[in-house]
Homo-oligomer: A and B are copies of this chain.
């Protein structure tokens, strides 16, 4: 079992025991996080970033780790999330393998990795863990919680469970509840991993590793993270040069798009723990703000109290479709927030927030400038 922790990562020991929403508790668990900028004397310039399924806490370069982070274009001095003004905290999700405690971590009760003995993980557990980090940093109230993708779910849970914890919220390509198409995609990704004989009910190691299953899962992920429109322009029907093809394999890679998927999968496969992937993926399927609104997601959202909110989505997102961000804006507005829905024409689908920095930077930067 391997964890993948960027150098310079900081850690917070969670309260022990740390109770989990669906039962069980963690002992001696920790959360990985990084920070940028300086918390001012009034402690009211904090921004909390909650991430999608796979990122670590290293959203951008900082003093502890000058390597570019996964949101480098958005975060830094003078950028949309301006670290000259804001004290930014990014938390690695509970259940991940990037420094926070998860299924790949050692269970102190046994001295062995948890694997499938890790308790069932909910988005709400991740929100509680993020809250512990905020409090440990001496922050009473964050100026803004920004949540991307799964982090958009985590942010809603965070806001709901800690009334008054945030002045504002930016929800990016998030959702108040998983819908069946997204559940179907994630279920198939999990099935690909579980069908790999090397998964072995979670008992793989580096020598016997569910590489084929992880590769399938990641490829399916990448397909649903981007959009047909973008790929038409980017790859079209371009073939691989003959020196990049295996003519012995009658069904081998032939088109550039296939090679792109293969490269993405290879980069991911050995850098994310399969059991952690299963746990985090399932937590997204389970998440449902309707549980917090007497069976009605809009009512659940309306229970959240923030002053200002912005829900951003893109037309080409098939995994977290645009109407889900519209619902978030509508629900937060019903709860009294000055909430705006911003659909963007980015061609890059669900992943647009990672790459269309021009549009997302303007949207997020504009929102924060008005705070």
Contacts A184-B223, A228-B321, A258-B184 given; indicate if A216 touches B235 (C-beta within 8 A).
no
Contacting chain B: which of A249-257, A305-313, A352-360?
A249-257
A368 within 8 A of B: no
A220 touches B188 (CB 8 A): yes
Contacts A188-B261, A190-B251, A216-B192 given; indicate if A237 touches B181 (C-beta within 8 A).
no
- Distance in Å from the Cβ of A227 to the closest Cβ of chain B? 7
Contacts A180-B236, A223-B184 given; indicate if A228 touches B318 (C-beta within 8 A).
yes
A250 partner residues in chain B, CB cutoff 8 A: 116
A183 touches B257 (CB 8 A): yes
A212 touches B184 (CB 8 A): no
A285 partner residues in chain B, CB cutoff 8 A: 254-255
A181-202: which have CB < 8 Å to B? 181-185, 187-188, 190-192, 194-195, 197
A195 touches B181 (CB 8 A): no
- Whole-angstrom CA separation of A261 from B282 in the bound complex: 17
Q: In this complex, what residue of B is CB-closest to A186? A: B258
Contacts A192-B192, A318-B228, A318-B318 given; indicate if A184 touches B257 (C-beta within 8 A).
yes
Q: Most chain-B Cβ atoms within 10 A of its Cβ — which of A184, A261, A318?
A: A184
A288 within 8 A of B: yes
- Distance in Å from the Cβ of A290 to the closest Cβ of chain B? 8
Contact of A251 among B256, B257, B278 (CB under 8 A): B278
B220 touches A183 (CB 8 A): no
Contact of A223 among B185, B219, B261, B321 (CB under 8 A): B185
Contacts A184-B257, A188-B216, A188-B223 given; indicate if A251 touches B288 (C-beta within 8 A).
no
Chain A residues with CB under 8 Å of chain B are 116, 177-185, 187-188, 190-192, 194-195, 197, 212, 216, 219-220, 223, 227-228, 231-232, 234-237, 250-251, 254-258, 261, 278, 282, 285, 288, 290, 318, 321
| 5 pairs of residues in contact across A and B, judged by CB atoms under 8 Å | A181-B231, A184-B231, A195-B216, A228-B321, A318-B318
